[in-house]
Amino acid sequence: MEVIEDRGVAFLVRIAPGIPRVQAARVGRQPEGSNPFLPYDEDLFVADVSDTHVCLLNKFNVLDDHVLIVTRVFEPQESALRRADFEALWACILELDGLGFYNAGRIAGASQPHRHLQVVPTPLAGGPLRTPIDALLEDVRFDDSLGNARGLPFLHAVARLRSCAQLTPSDAAGVLMALYSEMARAFGCERPGRPYNLLLTREWMLFVPRTRAHWRGIPVNALGFAGALLVHDREQLSNLREAGPMQLLRVVAVGRG
C-alpha cells in the first residue's frame, strides 16, 4: 500500500494488478442476464440481517472483512434507496463499527445491477482516523442539516450522525432516510439513472454526485471519496501522484472552485 498526501488527506492507494483480469473473467463466465445474488453462493453467507437483506462476504474484496448487504429479491442498483436499506446498513455498521457505502450505478462504480450496499471495518489504516477523509470533515459549514467541507474540491453534502449513535437500526433508518432524500434532491439525484456515491460511518454521512466512472483508467467507487483508491499498475500510480488524488476525485465528481 502507498500513501499519497494531498490537501491534508493521506490517501491510501493499493496496487492490485490481478483484479481487472479476475473481474473480466467473472463477467465473461456469467450468462447474459444472470444474477450472482439470486441465488447467492452459500459459502459467502455471513448473516441474515433483516427480512429484506442478507449479508455476504465480498468474493472479490480488496480490504479484509469486506461485506455486501444484498436485497433478498431483485431491486435495481440505480433506483432510490429505501428505509429498509438504511435499517440493514445501520445494523451492520453498529456491528462492525465500519464504513458503509453505496455505488448508485456503473458510473458510480457499481459492478452488479442487483441492489447491494457495502461495509468495510474501520479504521482503514493505522492512526486515530476512521478514514483518511475524516481529516477534512471536521471543518464543515452547515446550512440547516446539510453542510460542505471547505477542503473538498467537488460538489458534495455532509451530515452529522452523532445523534443516531444510540438509536436502534429501525429508529436510525428514519433519520438516515430523511437526510439521504434531502441530499439526493439537492443534486437532482432522486431520479433513477443519476449516479452518485453515498458513504456513512457512525459519525457522518457524505453524498457525492458522479459524472465519470474512472480517470485515466483508474476506477473510482465510493471508497475513493473516503480516501482509499485502487490502481492496476505502477504507471497508474505515477499518474496519480503527478495529478493528485483530489484532482482525480474532482474530475469524476462535479468539480467546484
Number of domains composing the chain: 1
Cα–Cα distance for residue pair 80/196, rounded to 1 Å: 11
pLDDT at residue 24, as a whole number: 47
Tell me whether residue 248 is in a domain. yes
pLDDT at residue 192, as a whole number: 86
Tell me whether residue 29 is in a domain. no
Helix (H, G, I), strand (E, B) or coil at 164: helix
Tell me whether residue 200 is in a domain. yes
Q: Is the CB of residue 102 less than 8 Å from the CB of residue 117? A: yes
pLDDT at residue 120, as a whole number: 96
For residue 100, pLDDT beyond 50: yes
Q: Is the CB of residue 130 less than 8 Å from the CB of residue 93? A: no
Tell me whether residue 257 is in a domain. no
Average pLDDT over residues 81-85: 98
Poorest-confidence range of 20-24, 83-87, 185-189? 20-24
Average pLDDT over residues 223-249: 97
Taking alpha carbons only, the member of 253, 230, 238 closest to residue 124 is 230
Q: Tell me what the pLDDT averaged over the chain comes to.
A: 92
Q: Is the CB of residue 229 less than 8 Å from the CB of residue 220? A: yes
Cα–Cα distance for residue pair 26/117, rounded to 1 Å: 20
Domain that holds residue 105: 2-24+38-252
Helix (H, G, I), strand (E, B) or coil at 76: strand
Q: What CATH number does the domain containing 215 carry?
A: 3.30.428.70
Phi, psi (deg, nearest 5) at residue 6: -155, 120
Tell me whether residue 247 is in a domain. yes
Cα–Cα distance for residue pair 54/212, rounded to 1 Å: 30
Tell me whether residue 17 is in a domain. yes
Poorest-confidence range of 21-30, 84-93, 128-137, 183-192? 21-30
132-179 pLDDT per residue, tens: 999 999 889 998 889 999 999 999 999 999 889 889 999 999 999 999
Tell me whether residue 46 is in a domain. yes
25-54 pLDDT per residue, tens: 444 455 666 899 999 999 999 999 999 999
Tell me whether residue 49 is in a domain. yes
Helix (H, G, I), strand (E, B) or coil at 44: helix
What's at 9, amino acid-wise? V
Q: Which three cell numbers stand for residue 51?
A: 427480512
Q: Which element (helix H / strand E) includes 55?
A: strand 53-57
Average pLDDT over residues 191-209: 95
Average pLDDT over residues 66-92: 97
